[in-house]
Amino acid sequence: METSLLAAASVAAIASVAAPCSRPVSLRSDVARAAVRCRSAATKNVQGSVLLTLDDELLSSAEVIQWESGKSINAIAAAQGIRIRRRCRPRYPSEGVGADRAVPGSILEQIVWDKEVEVSQRKAKAPLRKVEDSAARAPPPRDFAAALHAASQHNDGLPALIAEVKKASPTRGLLREEFNPVEIAHTYEKNGAACLSILTDEKHFLGSFENLETVRNSGVNCPLLCKDFIIDIWQIYYARSKGADAVLLIAAVLPDLDIKYMLRVCRSLGMTALVEVHDLRELDRVLKIDGVQLIGINNRSLGTFEVDTANTNMLLEKRGDIIRKKKITVVSESGLFTPDDVAYVQNAGVSAVLVGESLLTQEDPGQAIAGLFGKELLH
Ligand SMILES: O=P(O)(O)OC[C@@H](O)[C@@H](O)c1c[nH]c2ccccc12
């Protein structure tokens, strides 16, 4: 019981920083309060007193009650419609779906389980404190959202382009034999991309943090999105330490409280979060969270990997009014190949598109941009 309560508290990513909080706690409310204290202490270490007050304010009584109800992280996630189960957090062995017997229910779940292992190994090598220090020494963050707005304005309202640097994907396999991330980044920038998305997941996308870092140090000016499966705030600090200006937060993976906490971490680092949704339930969850500036509508289901650009249109028809009222910028992601595709999502109301495959499979991915938009993009 105690273990599962502590695990429930870890839903807000406390697990990554909760080491000082290992004293036994017997009452549920004690657990919740301990979690609050733990997190306050941890954020104080991380960012000084500014985040401390923000975080205390973040922990509304409703959220504490949720923890006190004794639900496990998987139960909390399931109650929010999240089908991805966390497997096993090293600190809480009774949490998760069981060590060896469980079979992943989707590719996304497999990726997340692999990510749990990867992150715990990386953290063992570079603890949060150390990564925070490197993040503080990284080149200053660039404004990802502002770059999207400026690009769209320079191009008569055409959606701004986030061009993706991706070697392979689970569904398409290898996208390019000759893969030079720095060359690809430069040709994208030269041909009018507003921002770049750099895949850093190694196992399923053949990406790397080295690619992110070398692109950042190669002199490109476009802001960079670290494209990975974030399940722990440690990864956000790590991405910043490698020069990322933005990170992807996937609503199909992250419970609301994690998204809120991660948004605050992003803000404290001067980074932008692109919060990705695929269906109406995820969009409605994200629209209830304050401070979301950028929403990505993925046309690809990360469960089945099926792509349908009508998804962008459908979600904007249903929630476009609220999105405009909240002045949220929408990015249409995946499966865009032709000027008609771009025009379709533009008419649906997006101000940016995220494109990988259709550019990467052509000889010069940068020159392919004019083909995708039906005209050359201006800077
Ligand atoms: O290659 P495409 O179909 O143009 O898609 C790009 C991008 O949207 C896709 O890579 C993506 C969207 N969300 C993700 C989450 C993780 C990994 C990859 C993705």
Cα(341) to centroid(ligand 1), Å: 16
Q: Are 257 and 58 in contact (CB under 8 A)?
A: no
Pocket test for ligand 1, best of 253, 334, 373 (most atoms within 8 A of CB): 334
Residue whose Cα lies nearest atom 9 of ligand 1: it is 334
Supply the pLDDT for residue 86.
84
Tell me: the pLDDT tens digits for 203-246? 999 999 999 999 999 999 999 999 999 999 999 999 999 999 99
Of the two residues 247 and 51, the one the predictor is more confident about is 247
Supply the pLDDT for residue 84.
85
Cα(34) to centroid(ligand 1), Å: 39
CA 14 to each of CA 92, 257, 265: distance values in angstroms, whole numbers, following the listed order: 12, 11, 12
Cα–Cα distance for residue pair 95/374, rounded to 1 Å: 51
ipTM above 0.95, yes or no: yes
Residue whose Cα lies nearest atom 7 of ligand 1: it is 334
Residue whose Cα lies nearest atom 11 of ligand 1: it is 334
Supply the pLDDT for residue 53.
37
Cα(116) to centroid(ligand 1), Å: 20
Pocket test for ligand 1, best of 354, 360, 361 (most atoms within 8 A of CB): 354
Among 75-84, 234-243, 349-358, the minimum mean pLDDT is found in 75-84
Q: Which domains does the chain have, with CATH numbers?
A: 2-80 (no CATH), 144-373 (3.20.20.70)
Cα(333) to centroid(ligand 1), Å: 6
Residue 138, token pair as written in the block: 């990284």
Pocket of ligand 1 (CB under 6 A): 164, 166, 227, 276, 298, 333-336, 354-358
320-328 long-range contacts, CB within 8 A, separation 24+? 320/349, 322/287, 323/287, 323/295, 323/349, 324/349, 326/287, 326/292, 328/287, 328/292, 328/293, 328/294, 328/295
Cα(252) to centroid(ligand 1), Å: 14
> What is the number of the ligand 1 atom nearest to the C-alpha of 333?
8
Cα–Cα distance for residue pair 368/57, rounded to 1 Å: 48
Cα–Cα distance for residue pair 319/314, rounded to 1 Å: 9
Examine the pLDDT at 51 and tell me if it is beyond 60. no
> What is the number of the ligand 1 atom nearest to the C-alpha of 276?
13
Cα(169) to centroid(ligand 1), Å: 9
Residues in the chain: 379
Examine the pLDDT at 251 and tell me if it is beyond 80. yes
Residue 277, token pair as written in the block: 């949704």
Residue whose Cα lies nearest atom 13 of ligand 1: it is 298
Pocket test for ligand 1, best of 107, 161, 171, 227 (most atoms within 8 A of CB): 227
Examine the pLDDT at 163 and tell me if it is beyond 60. yes
Residue 174, token pair as written in the block: 């290898």
Of the two residues 12 and 178, the one the predictor is more confident about is 178
Tell me: the pLDDT tens digits for 308-320? 999 999 999 999 9
Average pLDDT (358-373) is 98
Residues classed as catalytic: 164, 166, 227, 276, 298, 333-334
SS3 101: coil
